[in-house]
A and B are shown apart, each in its own frame.
Chain A
Amino acid sequence: MQVDQQYGSKGFGRLTRGAGLFLRNSFGSLFSREFIKVLIPLLLLWEVIPRFDILPRTLAPTLSDVALAFRDMVINKGLLLHILYSLGKFLAGLLIAVFTAIPIGIFMGWNLPIRKHTLPLFQILAPIPPPAWVPLTIIIFGIGLPMQIYLIFLGAFYPILFNTYQAIKDTDPRYLSSARVFGASELTLICNIYFWNALGAIIMSVKTGVAIALVMLVIAEMYGGRSGIGYLLVEAKDFFQIPAMVVCMLVLGMIGWFSIEILKFAELKLALWKVGR
């Protein structure tokens, strides 16, 4: 009761509490006491080994070199802006993939004739690894934002589509019978039964999609991007700026980790009703 009065029981209060729970879960699980015991020595080794030339320092930068490069990139190269650009493209491609693959997957799983007409096409196109699409994509879209978003979308699309349609297809027919007997229309079935039953599998597939989309983000920005972390990475590589490369790698890793944590949090919220048999 006290908490509600302090933060308000709806809206903003729930949001901050949810955010707090999320941060505590994600950072807490990563920086647990046990891992800190391993992490601190590793960081020390990272700092020390290049200094004593066990590994050459200019090829294996120390932690402080990387930190300095990070500071330099933030101040001089607008790293934060590039991060924003990358995130924007990543989210755009991912959201387009989610909002196209899930509906198509639902339709394909729900109705056999639809599936018979459409599935073989996807089964032919899906095995083509997304990086192989790059030349064709450049021809069609040119170099620039549409090409990058398309490649990211392509990376995320197929895992989400296949897992969604499979989960919908495998809905237990007894749930459907239960609803049909009471007169449920197909639309009601889709919205209330098919979708919710498959939601767990859908979120897992989005996790896979995120992983591939992140790879495609870097590849897309390498091929003629002018902005974004992938572009900074290639630029650093071309001019032998090793610490800057490490900074880019770490930033990309953090973006990926953060996305997966958000999805894990969503899964946690759904676990409430998961039937534990």
Chain B
Amino acid sequence: MEGGEMIEARRISKFFSIVNKEGIAEGLTACLSVTLSIEKGKIITLLGPSGCGKSTFLEILAGLQAPSEGEVFIDGVRVLEPLPSTRAEMDAYRKRYRFLSPLANDLFRDRPKHDIAMIFQDYAVFPWMTVLQNVTFTLKLRGLRRAEREKQALFYLNKVGLGASLHKYPSQLSGGMRQRLAFARALSVEPKAILMDEPFAAVDLLTRERLQDDLLKLLDSSGITIVIVTHDVAEAAYLSDEIIIFSPSPGTIRNRFTIDVPRPRRRDHPELADIQERISRLLKYDIDNESEYSI
């Protein structure tokens, strides 16, 4: 493990077995031998059409799925050992995880294994808790005392602009405000890395651009490593330091683009447009030449 690497993934592969239409079990490769190193403080985007395994890869990075092969390290700590492959390994695995799956944290104690946060596209916030309670919930998991929790929650909620809706329920908020709440929750624990799975897909274009700007403002020199999964090329170009193109079946890293344009960027910057063009051509080539997508 080299210094400066926040997240490191080595030869991550994920295989599923599905039953196809004829009722025969088929192997599905979500990712094949993906190796990736992400530096501290960078914003990385995983880009690719739907169904190419990037969401799966992100979940493996977060520790929400176990890889079939390979290892992931977050700040030096390993995330989830790979699934067993041999018979002996499988027996040992079954014995260890007979009661509790490896995805679960401790039975009784709240114990964040890694200092990360995650934001999903939908279902990011809990509808039965108010805005304030949503944020204090995650802070409580970190072990803060009540007064501190409230203070920190209020601070970040004000930062995302939800200071006036503290006691509203998410169902009373708009889609954009809900995503802001998700940001507030993620930022409030002051993590080292934030993983986002298509965070802006559920909102309209104008809100999306607003949220993107707000995100950049929030992250301004905070040093948090960000990994975003998206299928919007323009978004990727606007936000990220590095774009990693995934190609489908099997999901592998096809290409990497580095963007050196300093922030704040203009959406119509020529270099961004150029990169977008190249990426679109690349993806179109993939669509024309590859046949199967599992969306």
**Interface flag for B105 (CB, 8 Å):** yes
Interface string of B92-121 (1 = CB under 8 A from A): 000000111001111111111100111010
**Interface flag for A187 (CB, 8 Å):** yes
Q: What residues on A are CB-neighbors of B27 within 8 Å?
A: none
**Interface flag for A192 (CB, 8 Å):** yes
Interface segment, B9-17, B123-131, B209-217, B251-259? B123-131
Take A111-B99, A174-B120, A196-B128 as given contacts and tell me if A182 and B169 are in contact as well, using a CB distance cutoff of 8 Å. no
CB of B127 within 8 A of CB of A184, answer no
**Interface flag for A12 (CB, 8 Å):** no
Measured CB to CB, the closest approach of chain A to B167, in angstroms, equals 11
In the complex the two chains form, what is the Cα distance from A182 to B106 in whole Å? 12
Q: What residues on A are CB-neighbors of B138 within 8 Å?
A: 182
**Interface flag for B64 (CB, 8 Å):** yes
Q: What residues on A are CB-neighbors of B280 within 8 Å?
A: none
CB of A272 within 8 A of CB of B122, answer no
Q: Is the interface of A mostly helix, strand, loop or mixed?
A: helix
**Interface flag for A122 (CB, 8 Å):** no
* Closest chain B residue to A271, Cβ basis: B171
The contact of A181 among B63, B107, B110, B126, by CB within 8 Å, is B63
Q: What residues on A are CB-neighbors of B112 within 8 Å?
A: 182-183
CB of A181 within 8 A of CB of B128, answer no
Q: What residues on B are CB-neighbors of A193 within 8 Å?
A: 126
In the complex the two chains form, what is the Cα distance from A156 to B124 in whole Å? 35
In the complex the two chains form, what is the Cα distance from A180 to B62 in whole Å? 10
**Interface flag for B189 (CB, 8 Å):** yes
Take A183-B141, A273-B171 as given contacts and tell me if A178 and B120 are in contact as well, using a CB distance cutoff of 8 Å. yes
CB of A180 within 8 A of CB of B137, answer no
Residue of A180, A183, A196, A272 with highest tally of chain B CB at under 10 A: A183
* Closest chain B residue to A270, Cβ basis: B128
**Interface flag for B284 (CB, 8 Å):** no
* Closest chain B residue to A114, Cβ basis: B99
The contact of B127 among A111, A174, A180, A273, by CB within 8 Å, is A273
In the complex the two chains form, what is the Cα distance from A199 to B108 in whole Å? 22
Q: What residues on B are CB-neighbors of A187 within 8 Å?
A: 107-108
**Interface flag for A10 (CB, 8 Å):** no
**Interface flag for B70 (CB, 8 Å):** no
Q: What residues on B are CB-neighbors of A174 within 8 Å?
A: 120, 122-124
Measured CB to CB, the closest approach of chain A to B32, in angstroms, equals 24
CB of B64 within 8 A of CB of A180, answer yes
The contact of B118 among A175, A178, A192, A197, by CB within 8 Å, is A178
Chain B 111-160 residues near chain A, CB threshold 8 A? 111-113, 116-118, 120, 122-129, 137-138, 141-142
Take A113-B99, A186-B106, A187-B108 as given contacts and tell me if A181 and B116 are in contact as well, using a CB distance cutoff of 8 Å. yes
Measured CB to CB, the closest approach of chain A to B264, in angstroms, equals 30
Residue of B112, B116, B123, B189 with highest tally of chain A CB at under 10 A: B123
CB of B169 within 8 A of CB of A181, answer no
Q: What residues on B are CB-neighbors of A179 within 8 Å?
A: 137, 141
* Closest chain B residue to A272, Cβ basis: B169
Take A175-B123, A273-B127 as given contacts and tell me if A185 and B137 are in contact as well, using a CB distance cutoff of 8 Å. no
**Interface flag for B170 (CB, 8 Å):** yes
In the complex the two chains form, what is the Cα distance from A180 to B104 in whole Å? 7
CB of A178 within 8 A of CB of B106, answer no
Residue of B117, B118, B122, B170 with highest tally of chain A CB at under 10 A: B118
Q: What residues on B are CB-neighbors of A128 within 8 Å?
A: none
CB of A183 within 8 A of CB of B113, answer yes
Measured CB to CB, the closest approach of chain A to B132, in angstroms, equals 13
In the complex the two chains form, what is the Cα distance from A185 to B108 in whole Å? 5
**Interface flag for A41 (CB, 8 Å):** no
The contact of A186 among B107, B116, B117, by CB within 8 Å, is B107
CB of A185 within 8 A of CB of B107, answer yes
CB of B128 within 8 A of CB of A197, answer yes
Q: What residues on A are CB-neighbors of B169 within 8 Å?
A: 272-273
CB of B105 within 8 A of CB of A184, answer yes
Take A183-B112, A184-B105, A185-B111 as given contacts and tell me if A192 and B122 are in contact as well, using a CB distance cutoff of 8 Å. no
Take A178-B118, A181-B63, A275-B170 as given contacts and tell me if A188 and B110 are in contact as well, using a CB distance cutoff of 8 Å. yes
In the complex the two chains form, what is the Cα distance from A197 to B127 in whole Å? 8
Measured CB to CB, the closest approach of chain A to B117, in angstroms, equals 7
Take A196-B128, A275-B170 as given contacts and tell me if A180 and B120 are in contact as well, using a CB distance cutoff of 8 Å. no
Take A178-B118, A273-B169 as given contacts and tell me if A184 and B124 are in contact as well, using a CB distance cutoff of 8 Å. no
In the complex the two chains form, what is the Cα distance from A138 to B182 in whole Å? 57
Q: What residues on B are CB-neighbors of A182 within 8 Å?
A: 112, 117, 138, 141-142, 189
Q: Can you list 9 residue pairs at the A/B interface with Cβ under 8 Å?
A: A113-B99, A177-B120, A178-B118, A178-B123, A180-B103, A183-B141, A185-B109, A272-B169, A276-B171
> Which 5 pairs, one residue from A and one from B, show the smallest C-beta to C-beta distance?
A183-B112, A174-B123, A196-B128, A275-B127, A273-B169
